[in-house]
Amino acid sequence: MVKKKKNKITRYPSFLHINVGIIFFAFMMVYVVICVFSYFSKKHIVGYEVREGSLSSNNIYEAVALRQEKVVEASNAGYVNYFATEGQRVAVGNLVYTVDESGDLLEYLKTQGTEQAALSDDDLSELRSQIVSYSEDFDPRSFSTVYDFKSSLDGTVQKLASASVLQSIESLSGNASALNSINYCYSSDTGIVQYYIDGYENIGLADLSKDLLDSTKYERKQLISNSLVGVGDPAFKLSINEDWMIAINENDLDKVKALAEREYVKVRFLKNQDEVWGKVSYVTNDAGDTFVGLSFTNSMITFSKDRFLNVELITEEEKGLKIPNSSIAEKSFFVIPKEYVSKGVNNTSTVLRDKYDENGKESPEVIEIELYNENDEAYYVDDDVLRAGDLLIKSDSQEKFTISTKDTLVGVYNINKGYADFRQISILYQNEEYAIVKSNTNYGLNVYDYIVLDASTVKGDVKNLDTSSEN
């Protein structure tokens, strides 16, 4: 047999064939990567539209409401039904509630089929308003208020149902025993009626402690229709005086003394944004805690159902142009006497600068400059066209002035024209985030101007900015 000859395969080393195209492509890839990295690693200039606004100090507190409240005790035992509207004023002699001593009333109404109360459109509107008001003020961090709302809503429903019961009492002429067991209870004072008790009824400013101002430890007992009461049990309470106060805990004594020196402070209630002036008083307890009271002579009925209120003390309030603090910068300028500056048409300003040509011949040259501020004697000029040591010549004179003095201005960078142009500002008031500055000032800002949001992104003389805007 003839043996087959095996083919021998030899592997030759491979070589990378580099040509001009590969080199160019690699160079472009490196360039693109560098450009992308540079773009995302540097800060970009963002514009901010200047608007009018106001600022107030950040003085937001949770306050406790203290009122002159009188708890009225039940003089009879039995099942109570409320008829006066909670949170509304009652006069002396107005019917507030009834007490069914035997319970025959409810049983009789059940037999007559009148235990189901029909609610009118006004009644439903009252319930709807109560639900919407709570929904707007609901805070998930204070979920315990849901139970207070439930009790309050139960009380309102029972009160509305009791009004229907009262209309049905006249129909009980055929049931003398049920009529005889009903006691009518009338108000002996004028005031705002409330159907809850919480232990704060006799608390004054001097009686406060940190625990009493802790809303997480607050408990209230809702007084509900058709519940059983005994003789001497709380039946309802009256807020009998329109004078009332709120109290806050503030242990910064300097702040407390500053409030006391004002005597009256404007208070904004965050619940409805009402603003009322309160008279300031304060007391320090044995534990060293200081409580500031703000007394009012009106608006008590508006907040009569609230024991805790979120309020803001408006101690400073300035109106003007509102700008972020991040846009504020400082910049140095040359200070040049006014007699060396000439003003021409179109609000242009120029100076005569002494110069020497290549042959050493002295001659003046006209330099156009931009003014950034002025006082009685001098103008503030940028250093983009002038340098320290330049000699300026006074018009129609041989007097000369050597540029050397600099001063610093506080301002922002205006970008209306597409480049960063410094504008001086006069700050009226400032908090941690924003500042209020004067509007329509010389060399300053106007409403709807665009400024650089972050002044630190401006480096030197920036032209043809690619910016985005924020309001």
Mean pLDDT of 56-74: 85
Q: Tokens 């409320």 sit at which residue? A: 82
In single-letter form, the type of residue at position 136 comes to E
CB 244 within 8 A of CB 67: yes
Q: Is the pLDDT of residue 366 over 60?
A: yes
Res. 464 pLDDT band, cuts 50 70 90: very low
The yes-or-no verdict on residue 114 having pLDDT over 50 is no
Q: What is the pLDDT of residues 270-320, one digit of tens each?
A: 888 888 999 999 999 888 889 999 999 988 888 888 899 889 888 766 678
Q: How many CA atoms lie within 13 A of 250 on its CB side?
A: 26
Flag whether pLDDT at 246 surpasses 90.
Answer: yes
Element (H, E) at 285: none
Residue 417 has pLDDT above 80, yes or no: yes
Closest by CA position to 111, among listed 119, 99, 101, 103: 103
**pLDDT of 3 higher than 60:** no
Burial (CB < 10 A; 0-12, 13-18, 19+), residue 219, is exposed
- What is 181-196 written as a DSSP string? TEEEEE-SS-EEEE-E
**CB neighbour list of residue 144: distance below 8 Å, 6 or more residues apart:** 216
For residue 7, report the phi and psi dihedrals to the nearest 5 degrees. Answer: -80, 130
pLDDT above 90: percentage of residues in the chain: 10
**Cβ count near 103 (within 10 Å):** 14
**pLDDT score recorded for residue 21:** 75
For the cut 90, the answer to whether the pLDDT of residue 99 exceeds it is no
Tokens found for residue 5 = 């000859």
- Per-residue pLDDT band at 82 (split at 50, 70, 90): confident
The predicted structure's pLDDT at residue 383? 80
Average pLDDT over residues 76-101: 85
On the question of pLDDT at 172 being above 60, the answer is no
The pLDDT of 231-253, averaged and rounded, is 90
DSSP reduced 3-state for 127: helix
Summary mean pLDDT of the chain: 80
Residue 5, pLDDT above cutoff 70: no
- Of 174-178, 320-324, 460-464, which one has max mean pLDDT? 320-324
Strand partners, 207: none
- Position 89 scores a pLDDT of 87
Identify the helix (H) or strand (E) that includes residue 427.
strand 427-430
Average pLDDT estimate for 23-44: 76
Total-model pTM:
0.53
The pLDDT, as a whole number, for residue 133 is 73
Torsion of the alpha carbons at 376, 382, 387 and 390, rounded to the nearest 10: -30
Cβ contact 200:212 at 8 Å: yes
Q: Which residue has the tokens 């035992």?
A: 77
What pLDDT does 293 receive? 93
> Tokens 């970009």 appear where?
44
Q: What's the average model confidence in pLDDT over 255-259?
A: 87
Between the CA of residue 55 and those of 246, 322, 432, 450, what are the distances in Å?
23, 8, 11, 20
What are the φ/ψ torsions at residue 284 (nearest 5 degrees)?
-115, 125
What pLDDT, on the 0 to 100 scale, is given for residue 394? 86
Q: Per-residue pLDDT for 463 more than 60?
A: no
Q: Which residue has the higher pLDDT, 56 or 296?
A: 296
- For the chain, what are the domain ranges? 61-315, 323-470
293 vs 429: which has the higher pLDDT: 293
Q: State the pLDDT confidence band at 171, using cuts at 50, 70 and 90.
A: low
**pLDDT over threshold 50, residue 20:** yes
Which H or E run includes 53?
strand 51-56
The per-residue pLDDT for range 194-221, each reduced to its tens digit, is: 888 988 988 889 889 889 988 888 888 8
What's the average model confidence in pLDDT over 225-237? 87
More confident residue, 90 or 138: 90
Average pLDDT over residues 133-159: 67
Which has more pLDDT, 227 or 291?
Answer: 291
